[in-house]
Chains A and B, each alone.
Chain A
Amino acid sequence: MKIERGWVLAGACALGALALQLDTRSRSRESLLPALRTAQRHHKQAKRVMATAAPVGSAEEAEIGRELAARFTKDARREPALDELVRRLGGVGIDAKVYAAPMVNAFALPGGYVFVAEGLWNRLKDKPDALAWVVGHEIGHVKLGHCTDMIRQDAWFRRHGLGKRSPFTIFERLAALSYSEVQELESDRFGLERMHAAGYRLDAARTAYHALAAPREADHAKRGPGELVWEGVRDYFGTHPRSTERMAALESAIEAISR
């Protein structure tokens, strides 16, 4: 009996659908995020091409970074444990300090300045593996050129003798120091790579992620239903790496690097 090819194909599709449905690991949902991320990655790389044409020198970056970091260094202190962490992560040229602020966060500035806020430090100082991912993430922003990308405009002004007359105040520059979603995902991966190379436990990244996400989730619980609905819609069509996407990317990277 001859079986038509179409029926075989349709049957295979149906079986595949059944298998995917039964396999809980392959849970997925509809979202514009993957397609948007693809476009954003290419946009970022296009900017990197521009960076090749108009590079920022290391001396320039260090000067701008020093100016920006001056605002924080007076309230920051050096911690031996943090220095050791940076050394193990291969952070050559990274100047990491604990910044006296209650927030649960960390940030990097051009020129290799990394600040871990006191709030986060207190939570993770006894968990060096988890802290390693956070610090590795911030080192990633420096090493992957994210910081440099942000100050390219500022550097151009300085190079043309307009440094003092730059329309950007320090405050404005600091306000602009936010990384794109694609850059955040890249730095997450970078942090994992460095953790793995330094011999830290990769699964500690989950602990660190939850420590960072906990205040946001607490804040989330305070929001009204209207805000939550709006966030749901925005999440569906949005570009910000929401927790689901970021966690999934983290899991995927942990699995890939572990292999």
Chain B
Amino acid sequence: MGEPEELKRLRFDLESLKNQVARLEKDLEHYEHRDAPEPVREPEPEPAPAPKPAPAPAGKRVSTEAVIGEKVLQYVGLFLLALGALFFVVWRSAHSSPLERVLGASALGAALLYLSHTVRSRPPYDKHATGLAGGGWTILYLTAWAAHHVPLARVIDSPLAGFCLVVAAAAAMVAHALSLDSKGARMWTFGLAFFVLLLSRSSLPDFNILLLLLAGAVMIGAATGHADIVLVSLLGYLLNYAPEFGTGLFASRHALSGENFLRAFAPLTGAYALTAGIPFWAKARAALASNDELPTLDKAMTLATVATAAGGCLLTAKFFPGQPLPTAAVGLIVGAVGVGHRMVLPAAGVSRWGAYAGAAGTALGALMIDSKSWRMVAWVLTAGFWSLVGLKTGAPAYRQAGFLMGLFSFILYASAARRADGRAAAAQGLMLYAALSYLSARFYRTWVGDAIERWEEKFKEGWLYTGTAALLLALWGLLDSAAFALAGLGLCVVGESAAARFGRRHLWLQAAWLELFFGGYLFLIDHGANLPLFAGVTPLALCGAAYLAVWAHFYFEDAPDAGKAWQRRWLSWAALAVFGYSVYHTFGPRARLPAWALSTLGLYALGRGRADDLLKTLAVVLAAGTLFEGFTSYLYAPGALLASPGAFDVAVYWGSTFALLGAFGLAARDEGSLIDSQARFALAALSMAMMTFFLGKELESYFMTLSWGVVGGAYLAGGLTLERKELRWPALALLGITVGKAVLLDTAHLALPYRVLSFVVLGGILVAASMLYVRARKDED
């Protein structure tokens, strides 16, 4: 379009806009007058008439007449023409020879080509030139194809001649499309060429001819700098490949021989080499990897990669059933080429698909292994291999593929471990995976550093945690539950030592979770573990002791900083729970009380020596637990199930009771914090309760009452003498319970002499206690 015409059009648009503005202003006035409560106005003079608008452009103010004249008539006419042409073809088809049909179609195609050539230099019709050329070539090409393949138009009997004619037509069509410099034309003609070959596959002397054609297309693409040629040609080639080998092979038309495998595999890898090899060919890379062409080239390479991996793996699986190496080799090749792509064309996304397809191929190969143990080993080796490739080359997709495969190994394990015989084998595989994961975690920091993708920010410690999870699961699969608990404790020690050595936050976190996990796990060791191993020691007791040793190791290892203090605190509470639980299940109702009582004493002494409030708090809580346990499990235990106490039992029991009193004596020297006061109270109350429980359980009812009275009185006397409220309060509570029991229960079934005796002794104790109390208070005053 020349400049004067352009100016003319712009003026015309400007006038139109002015007219529209004027109309809008008028409408606006109209609405304002209608909405506002207007006073009566004098009628205003009519506005000056606007300049006469120029004729509206098409599509804006088009009259019905113009629509009918310019559009409807045209469309109806074209439709009628098409109908006429169709009827003519139908009529002629019955009255014409194949040669006439071919000539007629060729003439039509040539006419369209001529028309295209004519309108190309006549704007505005030049826009239709490419479309007309495409139509013309389509007719000509299809005619060339039909000349041999369609019986109604068969004028050539020789398949080779027919094929040559098709190729010649395709070459001419492609040459013309290239000369037009139109992407649409290029894609249409190349696509059509390969599509029609799909229809004439039976006349192909050898499928590899198509490979040659694809090579030609790639070279043309490289020479002209058009990646779309490569993409569409590859697509057409693969469409030809799929029915030729895919359906044919899987319909078992071909024998499973090495020769047939190569017949199918070679064209696939050939196409892959031609397409995916472009980046390694400097000239082609320069031509096709520019900013404009790279996305299209990327698509082509990705298509080739995925198709080769999928097709190759299917072929190997079909031709070499039960043999994993060929399938894995396909995956390895594709993955390796992906690495090359990453190095040569870092901006292309094909490398990512190379990683996924390669990993999938090798994974498929691993799954083809019959042996459960070797399958698991191969799987985790593959996962570790791709992870290391991703770490070494800095390619995130390989890291992602390896990591994902690693996660799937847990599913594989779950599947293999459903049967007891497969569990140990699968566990070995997980052991290997754990080792590889730890290596990956190490290399992640040394090789990759901060050069990570966004998704990796959350998963960058994934290898550490999945490695440990794999190790745990493997140990669980290999070991019985008690052995697993003990091995896990060893793992805790190693984990924490590693954390202390390397000082990484996640190592600390992991160690803490492991310690808490195994603390909790001890509660799940089943009844079978309660069978004694030696000298009454059960697996649960052994594991509990080991847990305590681990706790002690950590607790006394060093002075924890603020960051580790919470860990030590929670670990200590877990250790206390484990200890209490282990003792509970190891000893009977009578024996567990001294064990807990002596431990209370030990904890308090330790806390006192180290001036550690946490240890003192643990001692107080253990004392409270001992009191509760004594009340529920010992005092109310069925006497029939308690063996008669031997001298050793009695000695231990009372020894622990008096030891608690001794500890109270020590605690009485500390007049410090609140926890010291609580500890004194706990020790005093526990020692008295221990005596009470023993006397209550092992003596008959009324002797029990009397003995309780004596103990309560003694404690009260001691409390008054030593001026210790920690002794007085428990004593008063016990005396209250004793009186209540005597009045409500004992005397109801007691013979009269014993009833008198009971009341006299109890009353005497209470009176004496009262006198002591009054005297003590008087002294204090």
State the A residues within 8 Å of B (CB).
Answer: 4-7, 9-14, 16-18, 20-21, 23, 25-35, 37-38, 41-42, 45-46, 48-49, 52, 140, 143-145, 186, 189-190, 193, 244-245, 248-249, 251-252, 255
**Per-residue contact bits, chain B 174-185, to A (CB 8 Å; 1 contact, 0 not):** 000000000000
Among all A-B residue pairs, the 9 with the closest Cβ atoms: A13-B490, A28-B529, A17-B487, A20-B483, A17-B486, A21-B483, A45-B632, A10-B493, A31-B526
Tell me the complex Cα distance, A31–B481, Å.
10
CA distance A143 to B641 in the complex (A): 11
Residue numbers in B under 8 Å from A14 (CB-CB): 486-487, 490
Cβ-Cβ contact count across A and B, 8 Å cutoff: 155
Interface membership of B636, Cβ < 8 A: yes
Taking CB atoms, residues of chain B closer than 8 Å to A11 are 490
B528 and A244: CB pair below 8 A?
Answer: yes
Q: Check if B254 is an interface residue, CB within 8 A of chain A.
A: no
Q: Are B641 and A193 in contact (CB under 8 A)?
A: yes
CA of A34 to CA of B525, assembled, Å: 7
Contact call B581/A17, Cβ cutoff below 8 A: no
Q: How far is the CB of B581 from chain A (nearest CB, A)?
A: 7
* Given the contacts A21-B480, A34-B523, A13 and B640 also touching, CB distance less than 8 Å: no
Within 8 A of A (CB), among B520-537: 521, 523-533
The size class of the interface chain B forms with chain A is 35 or more
- Output the nearest chain B residue to A18 by Cβ-Cβ distance: B483
| A25 neighbours in B (Cβ, 8 Å) | 531, 533
Bound together, the chains give a CA A193 to CA B528 distance in angstroms of 21
Q: Are A16 and B632 in contact (CB under 8 A)?
A: no
**B483 x A4 contact (CB < 8 A):** no
Instruction: Give the Cβ gap from A253 to chain B, nearest Cβ, in Å.
Output: 10
Separation in Å of the A33 CB from the closest CB of chain B? 6
User: Across the interface, do A34 and B526 meet the contact criterion of CB distance under 8 Å?
Assistant: yes
Question: Which residues does chain A contribute within 8 Å of B528, judged by CB atoms?
Answer: 26-29, 244, 248
Distance in angstroms from A14 CB to nearest chain B CB is 5
* Sampled A-B contacts (10; CB under 8 Å): A4-B497, A5-B557, A10-B490, A17-B487, A21-B479, A34-B585, A35-B581, A244-B527, A252-B527, A252-B532
Are A28 and B523 interface neighbours, CB within 8 A? no
For A30, list chain B residues within 8 Å (CB): 481, 521, 524-526
- Minimum CB–CB distance from B483 to chain A (whole Å) comes to 4
Contact, CB under 8 Å: B584 / A38: yes
**Does B638 have its Cβ within 8 Å of any Cβ on chain A?**
yes
Residues B638 and A9 in contact, CB atoms below 8 Å apart? no
Decide: B526 and A33 in contact? CB cutoff 8 A: yes
Cα A144 to Cα B639 with chains together (Å): 9
Instruction: Give A17 to B539 CA distance when docked, in angstroms.
Output: 10
**Residues of A contacting B550 in the complex (Cβ-Cβ under 8 angstroms):** 9, 13
**Residues of chain A within 8 A of B636, CB atoms compared:** 45, 48-49, 52
Distance A237 CA – B480 CA, assembled complex (angstroms)? 18
Which residues on the B side are within 8 Å of A31 (C-beta)? Answer: 524, 526-527
Cβ of B496 and Cβ of A20 under 8 Å apart?
no
What is the bound-complex CA distance between A143 and B640, given in angstroms?
A: 8
Given contacts A13-B490, A38-B581, A38-B584, contact A46 B632 (CB under 8 A): yes
Q: Give me 15 other A-B pairs in contact (C-beta within 8 A), A34-B523, A248-B528 excluded.
A: A12-B490, A27-B529, A28-B481, A31-B527, A32-B524, A33-B526, A37-B527, A41-B633, A42-B633, A45-B633, A46-B632, A140-B640, A143-B640, A186-B638, A244-B527
Contacts of A190 in B (CB 8 A): 638, 640-641
From residue B625, how far is it (CB to closest CB) to chain A in Å?
Answer: 11
CB of B760 within 8 A of chain A? no
* A145 & B529 in contact (Cβ 8 Å cutoff): no
One of A6, A41, A49, A143 near B493 (C-beta < 8 A): A6
Interface centre among A21, A41, A249, A251 (most CB of B within 10 A): A21
Question: Which among B483, B496, B523, B538 is the interface contact of A35 at CB below 8 angstroms?
Answer: B523
Does B527 lie within 8 Å of A249, measured CB to CB? Answer: yes
Q: Flag whether B546 is at the interface (Cβ < 8 A).
A: yes
Task: Point out the residue from B527, B585, B640 that lies within 8 Å of A248, measured CB to CB.
Answer: B527
Known: A4-B497, A145-B638, A190-B641. A17 touches B531 (CB 8 A): no
State the Cβ distance, B265 to closest chain A Cβ, in Å. Answer: 44
Report which of A4, A28, A186, A193 forms a contact with B480, defined as CB distance below 8 A.
A28
How far apart are B89's CB and chain A's nearest CB, in angstroms? Answer: 68
A255 to B533, CA, bound (A): 12
Instruction: Name B641's contact: one of A13, A186, A251 (CB within 8 Å).
Output: A186
B640 touches A193 (CB 8 A): yes
Q: Which residues of B contact A7 (CB under 8 A)?
A: 493, 497
B675 within 8 A of A: no
> Complex formed: what's the CA distance from A165 to B228 in Å?
95
A4 to B494, CA, bound (A): 11
Docked-complex contact B527 and A34, CB < 8 angstroms: yes
Within 8 A of A (CB), among B483-538: 483-484, 486-487, 489-491, 493-494, 496-497, 521, 523-533, 538
B553: CB under 8 A from chain A? yes
Please indicate the chain B residues that have their CB under 8 angstroms from the CB of A48 in the complex: 636
Task: Tell me if B161 counts as interface (CB < 8 A to partner A).
Answer: no
Name, among A17, A31, A42, the residue most crowded by chain B CB atoms within 10 Å (CB to CB).
A17
List chain A residues, Cβ under 8 A from B553.
5-6, 9
Docked complex Cα distance between A12 and B529 (Å)? 19
Nearest residue, chain B, Cβ from A38: B584
Shortest distance between the CB of B741 and any CB in chain A (Å) = 9
Which residues of chain A are within 8 angstroms of B531 by Cβ–Cβ distance?
A: 25-26, 248, 251-252, 255
CB proximity of B409 to chain A, nearest CB, Å: 22
A26 touches B482 (CB 8 A): yes
